[in-house]
Amino acid sequence: METIFTLQAFMLHTKNITYVLMVAALIGITGFWLFLTEHDDE
């Protein structure tokens, strides 16, 4: 595990990962919504 010494380094590290995850999550939830509503018109 990478050692983090300062709050600045901690925030930079966690936010970097969180922003990447958020992009993946937005794409994922859109795909899930399309999967969920695919048969709504039937």
- Residues within the interface to other proteins (CB under 8 A): 1, 4, 10, 13-14, 17-18, 21-22, 25, 28-29, 32-33, 35-36, 38-39
* CA dist 39 → 26, 28, 34, 42 (Å): 22, 19, 9, 6
Q: How far is the CB of 35 from other proteins (least distance, A)?
A: 6
Nearer to other proteins, 6 or 38 (CB): 38
Chain-centroid distance of CA 25 in Å reads 4
Nearer to other proteins, 5 or 35 (CB): 35
